Amino acid sequence: MALTQILTEAIAQPSRYQVPDGCALVIFGASGDLTRRKLLPALYALAHDGLLPDRFAVIGFARREKDHEAFRDEMRGAVEQFSRLHPLNAEVWDRLARSLYYVAASFDDSAGYERLRLLLADVDRQHGTGGNRLYYLATPPAAYAAVVTRLGASGLVSKVWDGPHDTDPAPEAHGCCRIIVEKPFGRDLATALVLNAEIHRVFREQQVYRIDHYLGKETVQNILTFRFGNSIFEPLWNRRYVDHVQLLVAEDLGVEGRGSYYDTAGAMRDMVQNHMLQLLSLVAMEPPATFEPDAVRDEKVKVLRAIRPVPAERANDTTVRAQYISGQLRGKKIAAYADEPEVAAETAMETFVALRLEIDNWRWAGVPFYLRTGKALPKRVTEVTIQYRQPPLLLFQQAAHAGHKNQDIVKPNRLTLRIQPDEGISLRVGLKPPGPRISLVPARLGFSYREAFGVDPEEAYERLLLDCMLGDSTLFIRRDEVEAAWAMVTPVVEAWAADGRTGLAYYPAGNWGPKEADRFIEADGREWVNP
């Protein structure tokens, strides 16, 4: 067997996950899109891979009237439509379906919570779920406080010992009780503080799992493995060697019927406050002492706090915001954002943001981080690019004399972490092409996730649901992280709201953002990396 084959097989071994203890998962908002598109398909995949405990049940809780059977049928349809595993394995599905239940009630109806309590007791008896509870807030955010308060008032939240990191074990402790909270977690710092306070009236921080599905992506976790599991990159991961860092989250779709939500959020709240600042914190953090949840999150929050504040009066110097107008995307006409259903006709909401952040710490002082995200861009791609400094030019003067500018010949090294799709890592280096002259051409050293491991990465929600069942909060956002992220974002979104459409740029759908964004980075002597 060839050495390369042995190596590939060795790395392609799936990691062995632990199967969690039995538990009952209650999904609030079980009639919604998230449950159908993500949660049930993820649970089905876990069941398929033998990662769900035998003692397990799911209770959907939502307003719409239906019985257990109707809920099971609906969820079967959802799994058939959205699962990454095809075709549906009838045996796996039937086993999962037998553990699905439904409670029809509005989120502030105490009687509904009483029915839930009785059903949970019944489920404990029938499925042996041992009083372990996982609550999932998949409702519109306006309902979060009502659900949390009612859970508390109905005696459905026990003060429990929540694993070895829990410093305050309750003597009567049995089982676990956790709550998963979806984004958006507030819409600015003030509302996030209020929401945290409301949750903390009922749950302790160790029980709260704020989800950001980007953290469940394999390639996002790979940022840490790549950085801290290899000795060659980390010494080069700082201001001595790095010229700047770019984070790009480009989407090739418009808002796709989510106008009423998006027109109150915009790209900054929808993508930057959460996914992109999380990516940034993983790229920029110091090595944690261990991979314990709090050790990792301590380092992440230090980065978020070290971001130089962008005061309202400087918001326009360090950001570009724009909205897409109609255009062509892969030969298809895309309507302007302002013409989307449920978007205000005079909307000033940004569908594109570019911003430059500075991280005021020893490692990154003077290295700009450029973040860019937008809807209706030419491609769906998420990438982190570390651009190294220009090498000294002296050696390649000969080529320069031949009439080229040195920058055209000596391209700086670029390390690209491709988060999605075509997950992988590549490094741009300069190499000599064949021939008698010494000159340089850019070449790529690459790693492709699919080629190396022979599989596509699993869905983020699978990993995150499993981790929550296991009580591992490493990939969930802690209270101080969410607050630090809002502290950075809030002055900017407030300044934009005050300016309305003044200062808003426009770009035709299918373009890499507005011209203003190009001028913005060119003013720093740099350029965007457009994959």
Residues with catalytic roles: 275
Q: Which two tokens stand for residue 72?
A: 């099971």
Q: Establish whether 217 is an annotated binding residue.
A: yes
Give how many residues touch ligand BG6 by CB under 6 A: 3
Strand bridging mode 100-104 / 133-137: unpaired
**C-beta of residue 324 within 8 angstroms of C-beta of residue 330:** no
Cα distance between residue 179 and residue 188, in whole Å: 22
Q: Establish whether 63 is an annotated binding residue.
A: yes
Please report how many Cα atoms fall inside a 13 Å half-sphere around the Cα of residue 229, on the Cβ side. Answer: 7
Tell the smallest beta-carbon distance from residue 213 to ligand BG6 (Å): 6
> Among the residues of 173-325, which ranges form H helices?
189-200, 218-228, 259-267, 277-284, 293-306, 315-318
Tell the smallest beta-carbon distance from residue 45 to ligand BG6 (Å): 16
Tell the smallest beta-carbon distance from residue 491 to ligand BG6 (Å): 22
Q: Establish whether 34 is an annotated binding residue.
A: yes
| 383 makes contact with ligand BG6 (CB under 6 A) | no
Q: Establish whether 251 is an annotated binding residue.
A: yes
Among 176, 151, 150, which residue's Cα sits nearest to residue 163?
Answer: 176
Residues 479-518: x where in contact with ligand BG6 by CB under 6 A, - otherwise, as a string? ----------------------------------------
- Taking the least distance from each CB to ligand BG6, the nearer of 124 and 251 is 251
- Residues numbered 47-106 forming contacts with ligand BG6, rule: CB under 6 A: none
- Taking the least distance from each CB to ligand BG6, the nearer of 237 and 461 is 461
Q: Which residue is nearest to ligand BG6 (CB)?
A: 270
To the nearest 10°, the Cα dihedral for 308, 309, 315, 318? 10
Q: Establish whether 31 is an annotated binding residue.
A: yes
Q: Is 124 left (phi over 0), alpha (psi -120 to 50) or beta?
A: alpha
Tell the smallest beta-carbon distance from residue 375 to ligand BG6 (Å): 7
- Taking the least distance from each CB to ligand BG6, the nearer of 162 and 251 is 251
- Taking the least distance from each CB to ligand BG6, the nearer of 176 and 460 is 460
Tell the smallest beta-carbon distance from residue 234 to ligand BG6 (Å): 27
Q: Which of 74, 124, 182, 251 binds ligand BG6 (CB under 6 A)?
A: 251
- Residues numbered 263-292 forming contacts with ligand BG6, rule: CB under 6 A: 270
Q: Is 514 exposed, middle or buried (0-12, 13-18, 19+ CB in 10 A)?
A: buried
- Residues numbered 207-226 forming contacts with ligand BG6, rule: CB under 6 A: 213
Tell the smallest beta-carbon distance from residue 251 to ligand BG6 (Å): 5
Q: Establish whether 183 is an annotated binding residue.
A: yes
Among 499, 500, 494, which residue's Cα sits nearest to residue 347?
Answer: 500
Residues contacting residue 318 through CB under 8 Å, at least 6 positions apart = 310, 355, 356, 357
Among 250, 189, 236, 241, which residue's Cα sits nearest to residue 419?
Answer: 250
- Taking the least distance from each CB to ligand BG6, the nearer of 16 and 332 is 332
Q: Establish whether 260 is an annotated binding residue.
A: no
Q: Is 475 exposed, middle or buried (0-12, 13-18, 19+ CB in 10 A)?
A: buried
Q: Which two tokens stand for residue 101?
A: 């239940």
- Taking the least distance from each CB to ligand BG6, the nearer of 213 and 414 is 213
Among 135, 172, 152, 170, which residue's Cα sits nearest to residue 39?
Answer: 135
Tell the smallest beta-carbon distance from residue 211 to ligand BG6 (Å): 10
Q: Establish whether 35 is an annotated binding residue.
A: yes
Dihedral of alpha carbons 188, 193, 199, 204, sign: positive
Q: Establish whether 479 is an annotated binding residue.
A: no
Binding residues: 29-36, 63, 183, 213, 217, 251, 270, 375
Binding residues for NADP(+): 29-36, 63, 183
Binding residues for substrate: 213, 217, 251, 270, 375
Binding site for ligand BG6 (CB under 6 A): 213, 251, 270
